[in-house]
Amino acid sequence: MAYGEKDTIGRWSLGKLAFLERYLPAYLRATKPAMHRYYIDGFAGRGQWIDKVNGQSVDGSAAIALQHADKFTHLYFVEYEDERAENLRALITNYGATQKATVYVGDCNEHLPTIMKKINYKAPTFVFLDPSSDQLQWKSIELLSKWKTELFILFPLNMTLLRYLPRRGSQEKWATERLDKVFGTREWEEIYITKSRLYLASELLNLYILRLKDLGYEHINISDIFKSDTGQCLYYMIWVGKHPVGKKIMDTVFEKQSLQLKLF
């Protein structure tokens, strides 16, 4: 979660974190019979943030997860920036979870293969994937799908991906390469070429969802689009899982959070 100037976050981020805060306790109750349970945060940030509106301290995804550290076999946090990784280590110490949590510094896509080797294929594993832009690559989602995982993904459609698709002129090579990595296919290009701008966003979202289903994630929830304080469309939060119980729980969470988001 590498957003926020001066480590501040906006209301749209508070709503996103509330999804996680509501869901994790229910997830842990549902998976209680399992011998082992794991938590992975691929873009963990610093653990604590400042609400840019009122200046109050806000628990980030890492702090929310560490409140339940005793119920997980292990928690894995990945953070790209050294300074924020140090903040995470301090947070882990404050929670008395040094034996229960590990911080990796660097690219989430490169560290996930190492992390997953430490986890049994049958162990329930909750993965929070909250990039600030296009950092999450399809190869990582494909890897995670081979385990008993539930994923909660930030899909940066409006704030990043659509900006790589110019209305006029040719597309930059680097943009093409980045979109290939996000979608894991070149199918997005046909949509870009053949669909009108009016339907481009919905068609790209549908492509991403269909590819998630093809990986075995039968149960899917898509949030309302998150917007900035000025009303600019930003991203969707997508939950995917392989068990109907998780879907039932997340349905309730999404319903409550959708109502709350409308108040922001």
207 domain-assigned: no
Of the candidate ranges 48-62, 119-133, 159-173, 192-206, the one whose mean pLDDT is the lowest: 48-62
Higher pLDDT, 2 or 115: 115
Q: What is the mean pLDDT of residues 29-40?
A: 96
Cα 136 to Cα 44: distance, rounded to the nearest angstrom: 13
Q: What is the DSSP letter of 224?
A: P
232 domain-assigned: yes
**Token pair for 96:** 């008395």
23 domain-assigned: yes
Confidence of residue 14 (pLDDT cuts 50, 70, 90): confident
Q: What is the DSSP letter of 196?
A: -
Cβ-based neighbour number of residue 234 at 10 Å: 18
**Domain extent for 125:** 5-157+217-261
Q: What is the mean pLDDT of residues 151-159?
A: 97
26 domain-assigned: yes
> CATH number of the domain that 33 lies in?
3.40.50.150
179 domain-assigned: no
**Token pair for 55:** 């200046």
177 domain-assigned: no
84 domain-assigned: yes
Contacts 24+ apart (CB under 8 A), 24-28: 24/64, 24/65, 24/68, 24/126, 25/68, 26/249, 26/252, 26/253, 27/124, 27/126, 27/150, 27/246, 27/249, 28/68, 28/71, 28/72
Let me know: does 196 contact 153? Beta carbons within 8 Å: no
Q: What is the mean pLDDT of residues 55-69?
A: 92
Phi (first) and psi of residue 161, to 5 degrees: -65, -45
**pLDDT, averaged across the chain:** 91
Q: Which residue has the tokens 């659509």?
A: 162
Q: What is the mean pLDDT of residues 145-160?
A: 97
- pLDDT for the residue numbered 217: 97
pTM for the predicted model, two decimal places? 0.93
221 domain-assigned: yes
Cα three-residue angle 181-182-187, rounded to 5 degrees:
85
Report the percent of the chain where pLDDT is more than 70: 95
Number of domains within the chain: 1
Let me know: does 60 contact 50? Beta carbons within 8 Å: no
